[in-house]
Structure 1
Amino acid sequence: MFTNNTEAEAVKLFANTYLAMRVSFFNELDTFAEMKGLNTKDIIEGVCLDPRIGNHYNNPSFGYGGYCLPKDTKQLLANYTIENIPQKLMEAIVDSNTTRKEFIAKRVLDKLSTINNQPSTGTVGVYRLIMKAGSDNFRSSAIFDVMEMLKPFVKLVVYEPMAKGDEVEGVEFVSDFEEFAKKSDVILANRIDENLQRVKDKVYTRDIYSRD
Structure 2
Amino acid sequence: MPQNLIEAIVDANRTRKDFVADEVLQMVWDRVYEGKPKPVVGVYRLTMKSNSDNFRASSIRGVMERVKAKGVPVVVYEPTLDAPEFFGSEVTHDLEAFKAGCDVIVANRWSDELADVADKVYTRDLFKRD
TM normalised by structure 1 equals: 0.55
Q: Answer yes or no: is 1:206 the counterpart of 2:121.
A: no
CA distance in 2, matches of 1:192, 1:160: 14
* 1:90 matched residue in structure 2: 6
2-structure distance, mates of 1:181, 1:111: 16
- Residue 151 of structure 1 aligns to a residue in which SS? helix
- The unaligned stretches of length 5 or more in structure 2 are none
Which has the larger share of strand? 2
Alignment of 1:28-43 (within 5 A): none
**Contact persistence 1:105–1:149 (CA under 8 A):** yes
Structure 2 residue aligned with 1:134: 51
Deviations 1:137-185 (A, max 9, x none): 3230111111111112201111001112245243111111000001100
- Mark the CA change 1:148 to 1:165 in structure 2 (over 3 Å): closer, same or farther: same
Q: Which has the higher helix share?
A: 1
CA distance in 2, matches of 1:208, 1:134: 19
Query: What is the rounded CA distance, in whole Å, between the counterparts of 2:67 and 2:75 in structure 1?
Result: 11
User: Which of residues 113, 125, 129 in structure 1 aligns to 2:29?
Assistant: 113
Determine which of 76, 93, 96 is the counterpart of 1:178. Answer: 96
Larger radius of gyration: 1
Determine which structure has greater relative contact order: mean sequence separation of CA pairs < 8 Å that are 6+ residues apart, divided by chain length.
2
Separation in 2, partners of 1:91, 1:167:
32
Aligned length: 125
Match of 2:112 among 190, 194, 204: 194
Question: Residue 123 in 1 paired to residue 40 in 2?
Answer: yes
Tell whether the 8 Å contact from 2:18 to 2:63 is kept in structure 1 after alignment: yes
Query: Does the C-alpha gap of structure 1 residues 208 and 145 become closer, same or farther in structure 2, counting only changes over 3 Å?
Result: same
CA contact (8 A) 2:41 2:102 kept: yes
Query: How far apart, CA to CA, are the structure 1 residues paired with 2:33 and 2:100?
Result: 19
Amino acid paired to 1:185: D
1:131, distance to aligned residue in structure 2 (A):
2.1
Structure 1: where are the runs of 5+ without partners?
1-75, 81-86
Choose which of 137, 140, 165 in structure 1 pairs with 2:83: 165
Contact 1:131 1:139 in 2 (8 A): no
Q: Secondary structure at the match of 2:43?
A: strand
Q: How far apart in 1 are the matches of 2:87 and 2:113? A: 26
In 2, the alpha carbon distance for the partners of 1:142 and 1:169 equals 13
Q: CA RMSD in A?
A: 1.8
